[in-house]
Structure 1
Amino acid sequence: MTRPRLHAARGPAGTAILDLATGRWTTLDPIAAGLLDWPPAPAERAALIEEATAHWAATGADPALVHTDLSRAAADLDRLRAGRPVHQTLPGPPPTVRFTPDARPPLHVRVAAVAGLAAALLVLRFLHIRHVVAVARSAARLPGRPASVHNAEAAVAAVRAAGNWWPGRVACLEESLAVHLTAALTGRRVHWVLGARFAPRGAHAWTEAEHHVVGQDEDDRVWPYLPVLTVPDSNR
């Protein structure tokens, strides 16, 4: 079986990589992130390592330490990639972030939210992340049209209301996937996004509509996160 490709996004602080084969995140500082652009051929790689070592040595760095660190980072990336392509998300303007919505969802959205939350909890409990992404992509193919911010916030409010009856934890991954599924069940499409940040370091999942991030907690105002994988945009 072909291993799923890697998804990555690069920002000023470095690059975040999501490996769908393992569900693990890897973060690279800006220097290590540059290794992603290096050719895989050993001779070309060795020449570039020597060139980079000379550059950093000229700034006063220990050349032996630089050479060792670059060689180790390149080898680690080779093991991570294992010949797989890396899908890099191109940087774009950051979205507008909207915090906890004050919405009163209609009955059909509240009903859909119960089903959406139940489905999200089940697939996240029993399926590997690459299969979870496949489920989200399938939901994005259902008939419908792009959700407005109002539609998306109604779905968030409905999912949170349904989550009040759930005895377990409903964190960002569960909630955002449930919102994505709820919107799909009501004939709307939102973007389900998996991403990361560097300071402080952490992964996150959220939903977007009309280039607005919806339903963020008031106590989480550290933004932007790097969007690494977006459904349905990464469905190719």
Structure 2
Amino acid sequence: MTRTGLYAALAPQGVALLDTRHGRGHWRFLDPVGAQLWLEITRGSTPAHAVATLTARWEAKGADAGQVRTDLTALAADLDTAGLLLPAHRPDQRAEQPGVRFAAAAPAGVPTRLAGHAGLFGALVLLRCLPVRFALTAARATTRLPGRAATVAQAEAVFAAVRRAARWWPGRAACLEESLAAHFTAALTCHRVTWVIGARFTPHGAHAWIETEGHVIGQEETDRVWPYMPALKVERSH
């Protein structure tokens, strides 16, 4: 699929759309009915046909057809105005959720610590000074560097190095900056991790993290409610 800059996280609770075409990126959350409309249209139906199909489906369940049609027509127009009625890239969904490993004070050698500073600097410049699409381009470019997939211990050392480096930089490094920095740091130390941006639905929220060997690395035990569903993954193509 040609990249459109639009990414989707799908769940029974709806769909979360990440638009990376402008600025730092924008999330749009749709409930299950809105997600059905978006899926119908992006699979090839016209908005009018999709509205008619869903209206008939909900009328058969006892809903007021006029109200359903009005609401869906308004939503379709709103999504069209926002440029969101496009096919979105969706990462492959695993049968099982990855395990979540909490942040640990993992040991990191001098090369990894230095790489942590370089990785964080690159992430901060890209994410604070440029539109997010440049960060995505840089992250994808690093997947072409030589290296092996990081073990959990190696990924934890990388993440710990980024956390240590962040203490020396002004401002707060949020999950997006930390995770991208860890992705870069791993590449600089000849390792690979997967950079992931995703969303949750109850309550609505977005998050970014790294994964390796089927584990989410470096999470705060009291800070995040899982599961998050991935919308975008940056990893080496197989």
Give TM-score, length-normalised by structure 2: 0.89
Query: What is the distance in 2 between the residues matched to 1:27 and 1:212?
Result: 26
Q: What's 1:190 paired with?
A: 193
Other structure's SS at 1:88 match: coil
Question: Using a 3 Å threshold, how does the CA distance of structure 1 residues 202 and 50 change in structure 2: closer, same or farther?
Answer: same
Q: Superposition pairs for residues 42-81 of structure 1, below 5 Å?
A: 45-81=47-83
Question: Using a 3 Å threshold, how does the CA distance of structure 1 residues 14 and 149 change in structure 2: closer, same or farther?
Answer: same
Identity of aligned residues (%): 50
Out of 30, 33, 37, which is 1:31 matched to? 33
Q: Is it true that 1:108 corresponds to 2:111 in the alignment?
A: yes
Query: What is the distance in 2 between the residues matched to 1:150 and 1:89?
Result: 25
Which AA in structure 2 matches 1:169? R
The two structures, once aligned, show a CA RMSD in angstroms of 2.4
Other structure's SS at 2:160 match: helix
Q: What's 2:144 paired with?
A: 141
Q: What's 2:219 paired with?
A: 216
Out of 79, 84, 87, which is 1:85 matched to? 87
Give 1:37 deviation, angstroms: 2.9
Give 1:82 deviation, angstroms: 6.3
Query: What is the distance in 2 between the residues matched to 1:74 and 1:212?
Result: 37
Q: What's 2:14 paired with?
A: 14
Q: Is it true that 1:172 corresponds to 2:175 in the alignment?
A: yes
Query: What is the distance in 2 between the residues matched to 1:55 and 1:219?
Result: 42
Q: Deviations over 1:46-80 (max 9, x none)?
A: 34423322332333322211001111222233334
Give 1:199 deviation, angstroms: 1.2
Question: Using a 3 Å threshold, how does the CA distance of structure 1 residues 4 and 37 change in structure 2: closer, same or farther?
Answer: closer
Alignment check: 8 A CA contact 2:90 2:232 kept: no
Question: Using a 3 Å threshold, how does the CA distance of structure 1 residues 43 and 150 change in structure 2: closer, same or farther?
Answer: closer
Question: Using a 3 Å threshold, how does the CA distance of structure 1 residues 54 and 130 change in structure 2: closer, same or farther?
Answer: same
Q: What's 1:5 paired with?
A: 5
Question: Using a 3 Å threshold, how does the CA distance of structure 1 residues 40 and 13 change in structure 2: closer, same or farther?
Answer: closer
Give TM-score, length-normalised by structure 1: 0.90
Gaps of 5+ in 1: none
Query: What is the distance in 2 between the residues matched to 1:37 and 1:133?
Result: 25
Alignment check: 8 A CA contact 1:3 1:21 kept: no
Other structure's SS at 1:87 match: coil
Which AA in structure 2 matches 1:123? L
Which AA in structure 2 matches 1:89? P
